């Protein structure tokens, strides 16, 4: 292992550097075109060291998916203020989701595009992540329904459907926001920030299109007209 230049860097740190390089490379080139040479070069290590630590391109991709999944779940769940009203919890969870996907566009591209596009074992990993987030949102919506006293009204089945709708909407919106960033709109003052995106999503989900088009906006705790501000200042 003569190619290992700086032996003093602990293995755990080196591995994270390799994973960072891998996320960037997979997101930019796609899984198939990504080369272990490029990943090693970007991480500043030799290719044999990448193989020694992370085994194969397939294993490396799997490790990347697991790391990025865990980071996303942690960002969403830790953003939620425990004990707050359900709408506040949802809004802060969404803000956490959009902030994380905006700060980690390559990680999100790997999860949302690459992992689903390159065969079933990878797609299954991402499906498991998605199921975890859907379960979390279902729980929040169930609590919100209970708070609103409509347990009999908004039946369990509908809550599950709504949770799927909400997660699908958020995924699609995050993808759209990041594509706009890729197109170079990032420095553009017109480019939506994570807060803006969360506000759009929350307005859509909580207020509905009807109210939105009437100029109303969501604020924690009640209806307001268009002069007021939502969870993210607009």
CA atoms of 213 and 39, how far apart (whole Å): 48
Residue 225 binding its own copies, by CB under 8 A: no
| Structural tokens at position 144 | 């919100």
CA atoms of 212 and 203, how far apart (whole Å): 7
Beta carbon nearer to its own copies, 83 or 190? 190
How would you class 131 by CB atoms within 10 Å of its CB: exposed for 0-12, middle for 13-18, buried for 19 or more? exposed
Residue 143 binding its own copies, by CB under 8 A: no
CA atoms within 13 A on the CB side of 226: 5
- Give the x/- contact pattern for its own copies in 96-115, rule: CB under 8 A: -----------------x--
**What are the DSSP calls for 5-34, one per residue?**
--TTS-HHHHHHHHHHHHHHHHHHH-TTT-
Rule CB under 8 A: choose which of 201, 230, 231, 232 binds its own copies.
201
Beta carbon nearer to its own copies, 79 or 177? 177
- Give the x/- contact pattern for its own copies in 169-198, rule: CB under 8 A: xxxxx-xxx------------x-x----x-
Rule CB under 8 A: choose which of 200, 230, 231, 232 binds its own copies.
200
Q: Other C-beta atoms within 10 Å of 195: how many?
A: 17
| Structural tokens at position 133 | 């987030």
From the CB of 192, what's the least distance to its own copies, in Å? 7
Beta carbon nearer to its own copies, 47 or 164? 164
The residues binding its own copies (CB under 8 A) are: 30, 32, 87, 90, 113, 116-120, 123, 141, 144-145, 147-148, 150, 153-154, 157-158, 160-162, 164-173, 175-177, 190, 192, 197, 200-201, 204-215, 218, 226
């Amino acid at each position: 292992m003569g190619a290992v230049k700086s032996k003093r860097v602990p293995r755990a740190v080196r591995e994270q550097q390799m994973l960072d390089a891998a996320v960037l490379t997979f997101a930019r080139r796609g899984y198939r075109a990504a080369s272990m040479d490029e990943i090693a070069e970007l991480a500043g290590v030799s290719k044999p060291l990448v193989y020694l630590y992370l085994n194969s391109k397939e294993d490396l991709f799997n490790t990347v998916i697991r790391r990025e999944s865990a980071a996303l779940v942690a960002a969403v769940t830790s953003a939620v203020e425990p004990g707050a009203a359900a709408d506040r919890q949802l809004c802060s969870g969404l803000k956490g989701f959009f902030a994380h996907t905006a700060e980690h566009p390559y990680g999100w591209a790997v999860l949302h595009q690459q992992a689903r596009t390159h065969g079933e074992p990878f797609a299954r990993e991402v499906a498991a992540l998605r199921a975890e987030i859907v379960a979390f949102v279902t729980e929040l919506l169930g609590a919100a329904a209970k708070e609103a006293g409509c347990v009999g009204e908004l039946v369990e089945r509908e809550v599950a459907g709504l949770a799927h709708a909400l997660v699908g909407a958020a995924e699609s919106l995050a993808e759209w926001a990041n594509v706009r960033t890729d197109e170079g709109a990032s420095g553009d003052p017109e480019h939506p920030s994570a807060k803006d995106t969360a506000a759009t999503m929350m307005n859509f989900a909580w207020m509905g299109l009807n109210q939105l088009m009437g100029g109303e906006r969501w604020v924690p705790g009640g209806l307001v007209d268009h002069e007021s501000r939502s969870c993210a200042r607009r």
